[in-house]
Amino acid sequence: MVARQLQSRGIRDERVLGAMAKVPRERFIPVGSRHQAYQDAALGIAGGQTISQPYMVALMTEALHLACTERVLEVGTGSGYQAAVLAELAARVYTVERLPELTEAARRVLCDELGYANVSFRVGDGTLGWPTEAPFDRVIVTAGAPGRPQTLLDQLTGSGEAVVPVGGQHWQTLTHYRRRPDGTFEETRLCECAFVKLVGQEGW
C-alpha cells in the first residue's frame, strides 16, 4: 500500500508514510470486509459512512504539516482510522462524531485494543467544532462541507492550518487553509475528491 498507492502518487513525508505503514487499517473495517482493507478505495462502515481511501488519508495528513507538538481537531471520527494516523504524528487528537455507535466503536479499537492514549472523543455536531477545547493548531474535516467552514476556522490558533473537502453533495475540492498573521486565510486547492456529506448546523 505505502509503495504502490502513496509513494508512487507523490506522498513524501517520511513520518506520514511511517504512520500509514504502522496503523493496522484492517482493525477499523467490518470483519466481512477486512480482506479489502488495503485496496485503493474507500470502504463502507456502519451508519452509511466510509473509511477513506488510503491515499486520501495520507494526502490530507501530509497537508497538515504535523511536527509532533500540535493539538488537532478532527471532524468526523468515522471508523477512527484517520484519528489513529493523526495520533502517531500529533501531540493530541480531539475527534468529534455525530453518530454515537461510531464513536464507541472507534474508542474501543483506538484506546482499548491499540492503546492510543492521546485521543479524546466527543459525540456532537462536528460543524460547530469543539469550542471548550479550542484553539487548535490544526483542523481536519473528513466529510464534504457545502462551503467555507468559518466556525471551524475560527477555532484555529494564530498560525493554524485546516484541510477540508468543500463543494457539492457528491464531489468536492480538497482545500487547505492557512491562517495569516492578520487573521485572514490563505486558501489552496489541492485536488478533487468525493466524501460523504458533512451533516450538521453548518453543514448539509
Question: What residues pair up with 73 in beta bridges, in sequence order?
Answer: 94, 139
Catalytic residues: 52
